[in-house]
Structure 1
Amino acid sequence: MLKGEGPGPLPPLLQQYVELRDRYPDYLLLFQVGDFYECFGEDAERLARALGLVLTHKSSKDFTTPMAGIPIRAFDAYAERLLKMGFRLAVADQVEPAEEAEGLVRREVTQLLTPGTLVQETLLSKEANYLAAIATGDGFGVAFLDVSTGEFKGTLLKSKSALYDELFRHRPAEVLLAPELRENREFLEEFQKRFPVMLSEAPFEPLGEGPLALRRAQGALLWYARWTQGEGFSPRPFRPYDPGAFMHLPEATLRALEIFEPIRGQDTLFGVLDETRTAFGRRLLQSWLRHPLLEAGPLEARLDRVERFVREGALREGVRRLLFRLADLERLAARLEMGRASPRDLGSLRRSLEILPELRALLGEEVVLPDLGSLLEELRAALEEELPLKLSEGGLIRQGYDPHLDALRQAQREGVAYFLELEEREKARTGIPTLKVGYNAVFGYYLEVTRPYYERVPSEYKAIQTLKDRQRYTLPEIKERERERELYRLEALIKRREEEVFLALRERARKEAEALREAARILAEPDVYAALAELAV
């Protein structure tokens, strides 16, 4: 049901809204209507209260319901606020152009957003963003998944205090609790007091090998990630780890040392040490502080690498300057694998790949980066310098890359040229010097005449719109309308071909996702070493 007034029935738009909303009862459905994401009924009231929006109403002949919405262009800013307030978001987009729809525009839920499953760069910080799952069996099994990078790991812990220490180290954004823990009131109250994060539900079916509690936690994480990201989501191989292999820092010590969270003021040890230049370097430093080494040998090896950057100032400055220009290759690889990479993501990838040879030359033979030269050449040949945010905006494939696309564009240019020639011809024929040909999505191509020349308008012109100081008319001849329809057809074909070319290019880049992760893993270490050296000088 939908909150509202009137005998009904619901108009088709609201029926569609209710059908989608009912599939995701725990989510706030943001429903695209033109340039806005709208909510209706009680969800509209919740949205308006949360964001301080003006509540309006959607009315039809037999039904009126509350309505509130946010502009799509400002979606990221509003989504970030809503997620921090504890909302789960389901985003329903129009999946066909309104002008091509037969009746009601088709809409589908294209994104499910929760704090622990974000992949959008605009909604994430540079730090790891963990989704955690906790189950019992032969101890506490806790597993962590960073959906944005594919990192997937876990451990078995024997006590509740050890569990709390591990959770505090990782600071998950969202937690899945097994039913036996959710139903334990004493545990649940203590847990929520210590960790005020979103709690979500998932089936805890065992997955993989090893202790039952850990297998259950793995299964819950993978189910939830595929529920929010789609069945195609595949994380990196699960990595069991032993906290005993590192220096044990209990929660109380981590708090007292202010490693990640300040007691007073804003400074933390991590904040002071973090002079890294890349997102993946920042996450590595965070991991090292989370799990300090115990043995002197590896510690000495790290110190030797820091000392090199202290001694060689030009090397340090050059490496840091280049690293600063790199995209977050680790998260970009994950978006490629999920089919979420945008045109601008591929542009960022191109710029990053251009930097890798310079880094290889600076760092020397001890750093062996994967060879991604052929992918770079493909991206250079295919992509324009300035790229749109969305594929649907078009204009992203270079002239000369795809012969079929080039031919379509040439036909379009010739069609547009015809209308420009028509403008000059009609000016000469009518004696109206201000006459011009224009175009918009409502009327298509039209002739426009300013007020002083209305008396010269030929009788065959048919007025379609009157503005303050000018009038617009349909084109006078049938052949012009036929040419206009051909331009519409060409525009649709160009859009479709650009999409095909882009998807093929993205698939080509997807095949190098593991190589991109390897490059990020290799470069994260010199980023941290150079950052610590920068602090030392």
Structure 2
Amino acid sequence: MTGSPAANPSAADLPERLAKHTVRYSDHGSVNWDDLTPMMQHYVAIKEEHPHALLLYRVGDFFETFFQDAITIARELELVLTSKDAGKAIGRVPLAGIPHHALDRYCTALVEKGFAIAICDQVEDPALAQGLVKREVTRVMTPGTVLEEGMLSASRNNFLAAVVMAADHWGLAYADVSTGEFFTTQSRSLKQLTQEVMRLQPAETLVPTNAPDIITLLRPGEPSEHLPDCLPRQFCYTLRPQAPFTQSEARQRLLQRFRLRSLEGLGCEHLPLAVRAAGGLLEYLEDTQKSMQVPLQSLATYTLSEYLVIDHQTRRNLEITQTARDSTFHGSLLWALDRTVTAMGSRALRRWLLQPLLDIEAIQARQDTLEDLVQDGNLRQILQQRLKQIYDLERLAGRAGSGTANARDLVALADSFARLPELAALVASAQSAYLKALQMVPPELEQLGQVLRSHLVDTPPLYLNEGNLIRDGVNDKLDSLRQQVAGDQQWIANLEAVERQRSGIATLKVGFNKAFGYYISISRAKAEQAPADYIRKQTLTNEERYITPELKEREARVFNLQAEIHSLEYDIFVQLRQQVGQHTDCIRRVAQAVAAVDVLCGLAEVAVYQGYCRPHMGQHRQIAIEAGRHPVVEQLLPTGFFVPNATALGADQSTGSGQALAGTQPRSSPDPDLIILTGPNASGKSCYLRQVGLIQLMAQVGSFVPAQAASLGICDRIFTRVGAVDDLATGQSTFMVEMNETANILNHASEHSLVLLDEIGRGTATFDGLSIAWAVAEHLASDIRACTIFATHYHELNELSGILDNVANYQVTVKEMPDQIIFLHQVRPGGADRSYGIEAGRLAGLPPSVIRRAKQVMHQIEQHSKIAVGLRRGSRPKSSPHKPSDDTVAEPVEQLGIFDA
């Protein structure tokens, strides 16, 4: 059987298996078409139209592949590779197939591996076909265009993106065909494009190329000279011709799709690259989805400046959606905050975390709703109970609009619509914006839900051609056909008793099987008593099977009527699905409101049980956090084990409106712009850095934050530089990666940015690293004046606080015992002068002999070497930080007296 998995197939076995079947041709392009059988000629012709896709060709109960496609899916899906006769002159060619009922399962595996699939199905009844059964490509399935529920992750979007570049400008469009989201933007800087693609993590990205007649899908990591260097190689890319991405064609396609006379209303009339990307994306959907119309929402234009900028390095270091070490969901910020109960809410929370807000009013609107849900625990819990009963409206509407929804999808929609009035009643008196959005249930959806419930049975079958979809009383003709079938079936059900009495055979039975139909069974011993009008049809070991003309007449009538019933039920269902599809936009607007409330209910749940506070947000630079905590680490530790710490950064220098750290005396001067943070390894410096970044991010998402109190300004960007990572693929060392990331920070940070640096300069020689760390810290404090926490083991950097007024020293404290140190994980004023690295090595399990020798060497170094760091007195005025003059920069290090050995 072609679809049976091999025992242990491997790629290495493929040549041997091909030889075993005496295959002469493994590439369809190497055969003479005239020598092929008619079916194989048709296969090759369709394959020529879709060279970039694996062609699944329906043959009976299987979808089969031939030539090189057969070799590919046999390898990728671990199927048996066999062969098929393709004509006398051709001989046998490679063949591998999958059962038609397992199509979704195998397609899921192929799409996840980055393949495109062209599905060539039978479009006429084989029983009615004359000659070759008519077949057509009904759909091209690619990583970015899947709609099937089983092929999508419920908790994240599946984006299809398109990129157009011109010099240093670029346009980007992206859509999720399953939810209908459709966005476009245009900007400068190819680095911004890289970061936006990394944020989206698209399943597939379209790139126009000048290469002639090229339509190619590049799997992750697959090289291509046509792919721009700025696009990350870990994603799938589809190279497309330029024509659909030209300004005139793309613009016209958008106008036709949304029935507009101008793109002004979409916000992209004067964004030519954004228009080209969006139009090219639409053309690709039309090309791959064939006659199926993908219901996209109206195109929305956005700008990168609308949101807090978080580059890929910061997302990785802050572990927003996955951990940095092993890329798992568990241990990420999303894991810690996700208490949503719907798939729509889970996706929305991910989007919110990756695009925090800059608009204080929008942030406060979310906070106001959170406040209501935190204070009214009963409302929150009942809302979540009702939300659990609502299905994924976004994707259900998408499948209905595209004509791929089944009856169970429509029943799920009807059940969800029935919950909407209950939600509206719960929030009837609410005043916050997000709860008020649920107060009005569109009447057309209530009516649509009633129609669906009155037409569809409660538990319809999965497949639409099996009947039993539509209730009685919906259609007079359907009811009449069912009555006729019921009458004939009742006659057949009574036949056994009638024939037993007529024949006198008490053991006579009436049976049925799919291959034979209805029959009368008599044991071999009683066969001689069979009535004369019985027609023998089958002889078995212990019985004889008969039919009668009347039985076969009734059987034929039942089968014909059932086929007519199934066809009529399908027609009624299609009308219902089309009716739902006409309300796709309305359903999705409701879905967005439901998803937002689901997110806020979940955030309120976390806030209540984890003890979060509502941060005060303002248009200032200040970061004042009292008893702040890391939102993830505190959930991973036993209750009460996490040690909270305060943070005070960036108060207005002119007003001196700084706040003291908890447990310390108020500073006479404003809070610093830059903190030099020192302390031992494993004492919690990196955790402290990340917790400040996550608290700022959560606040701009609109969430409450893990702190006793917080007053935060609006940051335009958050930068983190944490950890040591090689980039072997591009030949960059740990230190070079560190310098690249540091350069990016210094070139893009502003006074409204939050910068979190950990161990700058540790990847090179001590003096080199210390010099770089000093200069970086000085530049951030003096020239950029960004709110910065600079964690380091270069204790010499503590000298900066004596030179620059907006720099302060803090340390993570320890308690020294005679034979060990105890990490207190408390951040306090003052700089540390030791890192306890040898003690950390002992805790890690270094052999005792190594620890003893390390202490001896350290003692010798301390006796014979001294590094005293400090700018020459008077070379940098202490009264106020300033940008060094050209003369100062030109002075040699020795003359400045920074290093003294």
Query: What's the TM-score, normalizing by structure 1?
Result: 0.92
1:74 corresponds to 2:110: no
C-alpha distance 43-449 of structure 1, shift in aligned 2 (>3 A): farther
Q: Deviations over 1:333-375 (max 9, x none)?
A: 2222222221111111111112112111112252323222211
Check whether the contact 2:209–2:239 (CA below 8 A) recurs between aligned residues.
no
Corresponding residue to 2:157 among 121, 128, 150: 128
Pair 497,248 (structure 1): closer, same or farther in 2 beyond 3 Å: same
1:415-426 paired onto structure 2 within 5 Å: 415-426=488-499
Call closer, same or farther: CA 1:7–1:507 in 2, change over 3 Å. Answer: closer
2:227 is paired with a residue whose SS is helix
Cα distance, 1:486–1:327 mapped onto 2, change above 3 Å: same
Q: Which amino acid in 2 is paired with 1:196?
A: F
Within 5 Å, which residues of 2 pair with 1:460-499?
460-473=533-546, 475-477=547-549, 479-499=550-570
CA distance in 1, matches of 2:276, 2:511: 63
Structure 2 partner of 1:505: 576
| 5+ long unaligned stretches in structure 2 | 1-24, 215-222, 252-268, 430-435, 610-901
* Inter-partner Cα distance in structure 2 for 1:171 and 1:430: 74
Structure 2 residue identity aligned to 1:323: L
Give, as a single letter, the amino acid of the residue that structure 1 aligns with 2:310: L
Q: CA deviation at 1:155?
A: 0.9
Look up the match of 2:749.
none
Distance in 2 between the 1:7 and 1:335 partners?
Answer: 39
The answer (yes or no) to whether the contact 1:369–1:522 under 8 Å persists in 2 is no
Instruction: Indicate the larger mover: 219-228 or 172-181.
Output: 172-181
1:302 matched to 2:375? The reply is no
**How far apart, CA to CA, are the structure 2 residues paired with 1:450 and 1:6?**
59
1:534 aligns with 2:605: yes
> In the alignment, is residue 252 of structure 1 matched against residue 282 of structure 2?
no
Q: Aligned equivalents of 1:10 and 1:427: distance in 2? A: 58
Q: Which ranges of structure 1 fall in alignment gaps of 5 or more residues?
A: none
Query: Are positions 1:58 and 2:84 aligned together?
Result: yes
58-67 or 387-396, which moves further after superposition?
A: 58-67
1:201–1:450 Cα change, 3 Å: farther
How many Å apart are 1:246 and its aligned residue? 1.3
Match of 2:469 among 389, 396, 402: 396
**Alpha-carbon distance change, 92 to 453 in structure 1, aligned in 2, over 3 angstroms:** farther
Could you tell me which residue of structure 2 aligns to residue 316 of structure 1? Answer: 380
Question: Does the CA contact (< 8 Å) of 2:198 and 2:232 recur in 1?
Answer: no
1:257-296 mapped onto 2 (5 Å cutoff): 257-265=318-326, 266=328, 267-296=331-360
| Counterpart selection for 1:188 from 227, 241, 245 | 227
Shift of 1:276: 1.3
SS of 2:229 mapped into structure 1: helix
- The equivalent position to 2:391 in structure 1, one of 327, 336, 349, is 327
Aligned pair partner of 1:41 in 57, 64, 67: 67
Aligned residues of 1:370 and 1:518 also touching (Cα < 8 A): no
Range moving further from structure 2, 142-151 or 39-48: 39-48
Q: 1:450 to 1:67 in 2, by over 3 A?
A: farther
Instruction: Tell me if structure 1 keeps the 8 A contact 2:33–2:41.
Output: no
Q: How does 1:308-387 map to 2 (within 5 A)?
A: 308-365=372-429, 366=436, 367=438, 368-371=440-443, 372-387=445-460
How many angstroms does 1:192 deviate by?
A: 5.9
Which amino acid is 1:453 matched to?
K
CA distance in 2, matches of 1:450, 1:103: 43
Query: How far did residue 3 of structure 1 move?
Result: 5.7
> 1:238 corresponds to which residue?
299
> Please, which of 150, 164, 168 is the counterpart of residue 180 of structure 2?
150
1:180-209 Cα distance to aligned partner (Å, 9 max, x none):
699997783735654332434253133233
SS at match of 1:99: coil
Deviations 1:255-290 (A, max 9, x none): 221223421142322232222112221222122122
Partner Cα distance (1:457, 1:17) in 2: 53
Partner of 2:246: 205
Query: What CA distance in whole angstroms lies between the structure 2 residues aligned with 1:247 and 1:316?
Result: 29
State the 1:456 CA deviation: 3.3
The residue matched to 1:98 in structure 2 has which SS? coil
CA–CA separation in structure 2 for the residues paired with 1:189 and 1:140: 12
Deviations 1:463-513 (A, max 9, x none): 43344544433x223x44433332232122111211121122122222222
- Determine if the alignment matches structure 1 residue 406 to structure 2 residue 470: no
Distance 2:40 2:135 in 1: 12
Contact 2:36 2:87 in 1 (8 A): no
- What code does the residue aligned with 1:23 have? E
Report Cα offsets for 1:120-168 as digits up to 9, x if no partner.
1111112111111111237111111111122111111201100011111
Distance 1:181 1:525, change over 3 A: farther
Distance 2:369 2:87 in 1: 74
The answer to whether the 8 A contact 2:473-2:479 is kept is yes
Alignment of 1:108-119 (within 5 A): 108-119=136-147
Q: Which piece of structure 1 moves more, 19-28 or 234-243?
A: 19-28
Q: How many residues align?
A: 535
- In 2, the alpha carbon distance for the partners of 1:373 and 1:189 equals 50
Residue pair 2:208, 2:239 contacting (<8 A) in 1 also: no
Deviates more, 1:348-357 or 1:2-11: 2-11
Indicate the larger mover: 335-344 or 169-178: 335-344
Q: Tell me if 1:525 matches 2:564.
A: no
C-alpha distance in 2, partners of 1:299/1:7? 65
Whole-angstrom distance in 1 between the partners of 2:26 and 2:513: 37
Task: Determine the C-alpha separation between the residues in 1 that align with 2:34 and 2:585.
Answer: 54
Once the two structures are TM-superposed, the CA of residue 55 in structure 1 deviates from its matched residue by: 1.9
Provide the rounded CA distance (Å) in 2 between the counterparts of 1:258 and 1:179. 35
Which fold has the larger relative contact order, with Cα–Cα distance below 8 Å and residues 6 or more apart in sequence? 1
Larger Rg: 2
Paired letter, 2:548:
P
1:420-435 superposed matches below 5 A: 420-435=493-508
Which amino acid counterpart does residue 123 of structure 2 have in structure 1? V
Given that 2:116 and 2:140 are in contact with CA atoms closer than 8 Å, whether structure 1 keeps it comes out as yes
